[in-house]
Amino acid sequence: MCLRFFCGCIAKKIQYFCKLLVSIIMNEEKKSLNFIEQIIEEDLANGLPKEKLRFRFPPEPNGYLHIGHAASICLNFGLGLKYNAPVNLRFDDTNPAKEEQEYVDSIMYDVQWLGFKWDKVLYSSDYFQQLYDWTIAIIKDGKAYVDDQSSEQMALQKGTPTEPGTDSPNRNRSVEENLELFLKMKNSEFEEGSHVLRAKIDMKHVNMHMRDPIMYRVLKKHHHRTGNDWCIYPMYDWTHGESDYFEQISHSICTLEFKSHRDLYDWYVDQVYDPNLLRPKQREFARRNLSYTVMSKRKLLQLVEEKIVTGWDDPRMPTISGLRRRGYTPESLRNFSEIAGIAKRDNVTDVALLEFCIKDHLNKTAPRVMTVLNPVKLVITNYPEGKEEWLTAENNQEDKRAGYREVPFSREIYIEQEDFQEEANKKFFRLKLGGEVRLKNGYIIKAESCLKDENGEVTEIHCTYDKDSLSGSGTEASTRKVKGTLHWVSIKHALKAEVRVYDRLFTHEAPDSQKDKDFKEFLNPDSLTIIDAFIEPSLKEAKVLDRFQFQRLGYFCVDKDTTSTKLVFNRTVPLRDSWTKMSE
């Protein structure tokens, strides 16, 4: 069992990295077209003028954007860039019960932060009057009727995927009666839930969405933009296609769950279509799902409201604001979208790919600094008391332009507890009694003895140093090779900082797909650990969102909770993944 699990893990990992390699190579080469681009190329070849291409990203302002939305943003805005076509940011704000200005603001911020520019910001609510006027024409055409049955009755008449539905007794109301009742709906003469307007299509249609769908319902709610102007609100399907048509969107790209809505999308467009105008085309791609998290706004809202996380931008959240606070860069998220690609079938993307993308970007861009998370004191007994030196350290060996900084060194330093063992085997390349290591950017030291408390825990390590071995000093000893190099901070000069170390928010790969189990049952109780760390003084002036590599530990980013007296860091991602280690 254990061996099978082990082999399975290795096989999965090899498969995963092969896929990764292939996608990176594909990226480097001239990229082949994805299936949406192929559809567009076909339309262009069939006579669609290139200047008619137009796209949109249509979020509902009922929550913060997440990494799944980033896939849609990168796809739509990416098409805009590729074809030099305008892309609208359109708020699909037809449900006043759940929508708020706060969400509108955060969405605009996130799209821009990701690096994209929209052509226009538009709101479906701006089309309420146009939609109403079109509706009146449809009623006059005998293609819509008011139904005042209960929702239960209507559901019973709907049929099933294998059985046809039955007609509502109100289906054959006269046009005059429908116009009068619809006006009463609009004038707030009916209670919420008592009347709806339905499209008169076909109760026996094989596609259930075509069985007289609801176009309008009564909702006596304040709308974040139209206030109390309306008490009838158009349904998503009726609004979406018409908004696309109104804006002359050429390709309306949405996720797979809308595939079965396509017939209805087309039916609605048919009702208002003017052959001199462009007819929008709905096409679908698979949602982006990510392992070890949930990606529905409803569930994310639940985590926020139940205070399981500190907010939408909690660094454990898969929201764009959470990832930003965690230290993710726009480049890494765009690269992730590119490598993960778009698919025609539902799938789950491994979060390790997202982590790979941020490590890859920060490796090139993040300055290196020394920080000790779990300190133990080390005294260099032959280093003069009171002496201090400022050692030269390279900021980023991957980026020569990043230059150098000075790091203070003195007789007493902190190193990581786990970097010292009294006795250890040959594979332990860190510090052990009688052994030597190099201090990063500094000297070679040798461990001579250590002090321990009553529990046997090491409290102080005593070392001697080779004064001729300073890195970069040009002496023979300065290039002497020893097996290990340790990071360290000078106790006298170190700053204290709070470091928040995050782990995955869920212990299950697919927390919301387990039958009979609530996704919250899989919450990881250890998703946050707070550590008091010691950091080198060059970080004193670090600003919120500045990102660093804490050498040998991982990538970290300054959190917004930082004050003038207290630095707070979030761990973006460790250099080595502890989850990989656990399954090895």
Nearer to ligand ATP, 249 or 573 (CB): 249
> Which member of 200, 211, 281, 297 is catalytic?
297
Q: Is 287 a catalytic residue?
A: yes
Write down the H helix ranges in 162-316: 175-186, 236-247, 262-272, 297-305
Binding residues among 282-311 for ligand ATP as defined by CB under 6 A: 287-288, 295-297
Neighbours of 388 (CB within 10 A): 13
Q: Are 259 and 345 in contact (CB under 8 A)?
A: no
Q: Which C-beta is closer to ligand ATP: that of 63 or that of 574?
A: 63
Please name the amino acid found at residue 99.
E
3-state secondary structure of 426: coil
254 binds, among ligand ATP, Mg ion, none (CB under 5 to 8 A by kind): ligand ATP
CB 491 within 8 A of CB 410: yes
Enumerate residues 6+ apart whose C-beta is below 8 A from 119.
80, 86, 87, 88
| Main-chain dihedrals φ then ψ at residue 196, nearest 5 degrees | -135, 160
Query: Smallest distance from the beta carbon of 252 to ligand ATP, in angstroms?
Result: 9
Residue reference for tokens 């052509």: 119
Binding residues with ligand ATP: total (CB under 6 A): 14
The answer for 552, left when phi > 0, alpha when psi is -120 to 50, beta otherwise, is: left
Work out how close the CB of 107 gets to ligand ATP at its nearest, in angstroms, rounded to a whole number.
8
Is residue 325 annotated as a catalytic residue, yes or no?
no
Residue range at the interface with ligand ATP (CB under 6 A); choices 15-23, 58-66, 397-405, 457-465: 58-66
CB atoms closer than 10 angstroms to residue 275: 5
CB of 371 to ligand ATP, least distance (A): 35
Nearer to Mg ion, 283 or 508 (CB): 283
**How many other CB atoms are found less than 10 A from the CB of residue 472?**
14
CA triplet 238, 242, 243: central angle to 5 degrees?
A: 110
Site string for ligand ATP, 203-242 (x = CB under 6 A): ----------------------------------------
Q: How many residues of this chain interact with Mg ion, rule: CB under 5 A? A: 1
- DSSP 3-state of 380: strand
CB of 566 to Mg ion, least distance (A): 40
Q: Is residue 500 annotated as a catalytic residue, yes or no?
A: no
CA 92 to chain CA mean position, Å? 21
Binding to ligand ATP (CB under 6 A): which residues in 245-284?
Answer: 254-255
Give 68 or 327: the residue with its C-beta nearer to ligand ATP. Answer: 68
Choose the one of Mg ion, ligand ATP, none that binds residue 255, judging by a C-beta under 5 to 8 angstroms depending on kind: ligand ATP
- Part in contact with ligand ATP (CB under 6 A); list of ranges 56-64, 273-281, 375-383, 384-392: 56-64
The CA-CA-CA angle for residues 522, 527, 530, to 5°, reads: 160
Nearer to ligand ATP, 261 or 288 (CB): 288
Percentage helix, strand, coil, to 5, in the chain? 35, 25, 40
CA 209, CA 549: separation in Å to the nearest integer?
52
Residues 33-72 contacting Mg ion, CB under 5 A: 60
Q: Take residue 276 and report the two structure tokens written for it.
A: 């001199």
Which of 186, 198, 211, 287 is catalytic? The answer is: 287
Residue recorded with tokens 């790209």 = 253
Q: Which is nearer to ligand ATP, 69 or 547 (CB)?
A: 69
Least Å distance, CB 328 to ligand ATP, is 17
First to last CA, the chain: 14
Specify whether the CB–CB gap between 486 and 428 falls below 8 A.
no
Which residue's CB is nearer to ligand ATP, number 354 or number 362?
Answer: 354
Q: Applying CB under 6 A, which part among 55-63, 140-148, 154-162, 364-372 lies near ligand ATP?
A: 55-63
CB of 61 to ligand ATP, least distance (A): 8
- Which of 13, 37, 60, 158 is catalytic? The answer is 60
Read off the DSSP letter of residue 20: H
Site for ligand ATP in 67-126 (CB under 6 A): 68-69, 71-72
Binding site for Mg ion (CB under 5 A): 60
What positions carry a catalytic annotation? 60, 287, 297
Binding site for ligand ATP (CB under 6 A): 58-60, 68-69, 71-72, 254-255, 287-288, 295-297
